[in-house]
Amino acid sequence: MSEAALLECDARTPPSVQRLAKIAQESRLELVRIKTALCEETAERFRLEEILRLKQAELQAMQDVSPLGLFLTDPAGELTFCNKVLEQITGLTSQTLHGSGWVRALHSDDSDGVLEKWRAALHSHQEYSSVHRLLRPDGQTVWVRVKAAPKKDGPAIIGYAGMVEDVSPLKEAEKERQHYEVKLRHAQKMESIGQLAAGIAHEINTPTQYVGDNVRFLRDAFGDIKKILEPLRALLSQDKDLPIAPEEFAPIRLLAAEHDLDYLMDEVPQAVQQSLEGIGRVSKIVQAMKEFSHPGATEKTALDLNKAIETTITVARNEWRYVADLETGLDPDLPPVPCLPGEFNQVILNLIVNAAHAIADAVGSESGKKGLITISTRQNGDWIEVRIKDSGAGIPEKIRHRIFEPFFTTKAVGKGTGQGLAIAHSVVVEKHGGTIHFESEAGQGTTFIIRLPAG
């Protein structure tokens, strides 16, 4: 019996034939469903393949236009993929870079450090980040910033995905900026010296004057002593075998009394001592100026902070001596500290001048009253602390958040550029990896606290 006949069975058809007809009908329906499902699955597969193709095209386009070099590695850190940009940055082909070939792109001076850091990241399954140099086949050095993160399949690490950015222009700009900042700070230092020049000249002039006065006194004193000594020398030059009569000393006694020999014997040593002290004072000022104005090292050197502070106190003396007394509490056991000497001196100068101005504003520069500046140093764990305290009026609370802003000043036009504290902040924080902050109380004064790494 045909399938069509089976499907057309009626009530008179035997049960066995009816069952066969039902089975045939269900099979046909199942085949239709299977065919329909296969068609839908095929259509979905084609749709997904098209989406995947488009996504791959988008990804390839992104790789082609990306300014970054992109790469993938296996779990051992061997390169399995890189884009065209990475080839351009390194000057090497993808075939050369694949596997461990990328190592040959590293600059010889940076190679060991980069590889050690990369191995540590692979071992700990941590992100990797580095800024280092590459050496291209054409001999050009390229600075790059590299970042990579682990790829995971569940808990398993299946490799790393990373990017490489050419930062050579930034490095060159940073180098120029640093060179400019060094020159700028030296110019600012010389400007400070120029502003202090009149006071320094006065500081030198005072001891120079009493050295001159004492030298003139010694000249006159020697003339008087010479008048006493000449007859005595003539007397002593007579024949040694002949006795000297007592009356022969009478003219010498008269000359000694006339020229006040006792006075000269007391005053001449004092004049000599005062002259030496004056010369020492001038020498100290000149040496301080020489040390302060020296351009200094561009690399950090071990610095005796106490000596640097004393030098700056000497240079700035005319700024504070009329408005304040200055006391120091410098720790004699302070170790040498890695510093840029010239820039540290500039910070201390700025803070001393700032303290003197704060006191002058509080007591009045013409009042004759004096405040107090206290400078101390100490070691506090891994940090070296320098404290500069003044007895001024304190910093108003409403402007405290702006104290370290460039060009911010509360002084009258021509009396401040607002750069002193901004420079201090830049030098301490950016150049030395330290901190600078202040404590201030209205009517009581302000203390600036500098903290520098001890080593």
Same domain, 332 and 444: yes
Same domain, 113 and 20: no
Is 380 a member of any domain? yes
The closest alpha carbon to 141, from 179, 167, 162, belongs to: 167
Is 172 a member of any domain? no
> What pLDDT was estimated at residue 34?
76
Residue pair 189/263 in contact by the 8 Å Cβ criterion: no
When the pLDDT of each residue in the chain is averaged and rounded to a whole number, the result is: 79
The closest alpha carbon to 301, from 339, 335, 334, belongs to: 339
Q: What is the residue range of 28's domain?
A: 3-62
Q: Structure tokens of 134?
A: 């590459």
Is 103 a member of any domain? yes
Say if residue 416's pLDDT is above 60. no
Report the DSSP beta bridge partners of residue 337. Answer: 303
pLDDT confidence of 6, banded at 50, 70, 90?
very low
User: What residues have CB less than 8 Å from 409, skipping those under 6 apart?
Assistant: 416, 417, 418
Report pLDDT digits (tens) over 261-312: 777 788 888 888 878 877 877 777 777 666 666 555 567 889 899 998 998 8
For the segment 144-151, the average pLDDT, to the nearest whole number, is 91
The highest-confidence range among 19-28, 250-259, 260-269, by mean pLDDT, is 260-269
Spatial distance between the Cα atoms of 309 and 334, rounded to a whole number of angstroms: 13
Q: How many CA atoms lie within 13 A of 398 on its CB side?
A: 1
Same domain, 314 and 406: yes
Same domain, 338 and 381: yes
Helix, coil or strand: residue 440: strand
For the segment 108-127, the average pLDDT, to the nearest whole number, is 91
Same domain, 111 and 150: yes
Same domain, 315 and 437: yes
Is 8 a member of any domain? yes
Is 277 a member of any domain? yes
Is 140 a member of any domain? yes
Query: Which residue among 27, 62, 97 closes a domain?
Result: 62
The highest-confidence range among 191-200, 296-305, 342-351, 379-388, by mean pLDDT, is 379-388
pLDDT confidence of 174, banded at 50, 70, 90?
confident
Say if residue 417's pLDDT is above 60. no
Is 171 a member of any domain? no
Say if residue 137's pLDDT is above 80. yes
Least confident of 109-113, 114-118, 231-235, 429-433: 231-235
The highest-confidence range among 259-263, 384-388, 421-425, by mean pLDDT, is 384-388
Same domain, 51 and 143: no
Same domain, 323 and 256: no
Say if residue 202's pLDDT is above 70. no
Same domain, 189 and 86: no
Same domain, 131 and 116: yes
pLDDT confidence of 193, banded at 50, 70, 90?
low
Is 87 a member of any domain? yes
Say if residue 375's pLDDT is above 80. yes
> What pLDDT was estimated at residue 326?
94
Q: Structure tokens of 349?
A: 């100068």
Same domain, 449 and 301: yes
Number of separate domains in the chain: 4
Report pLDDT digits (tens) over 212-222: 888 888 888 88
pLDDT confidence of 7, banded at 50, 70, 90?
very low
Query: Which residue among 141, 166, 191 closes a domain?
Result: 166
Say if residue 2's pLDDT is above 50. no
Same domain, 57 and 91: no
Report pLDDT digits (tens) over 307-362: 989 988 888 888 888 899 999 999 999 999 999 888 888 889 889 988 998 898 88
Residue pair 164/89 in contact by the 8 Å Cβ criterion: yes
Q: How many helices (H) and strands (E) does the chain have?
A: 12, 12
Handedness of CA 300, 301, 306, 307 (dihedral sign): negative
**Choice between 63 and 290, residue whose per-residue pLDDT is larger:** 290
Query: Which residue among 166, 189, 212 closes a domain?
Result: 166
CATH label of the domain that carries residue 133: 3.30.450.20
* Other Cβ atoms within 10 Å of 244 Cβ, number: 11
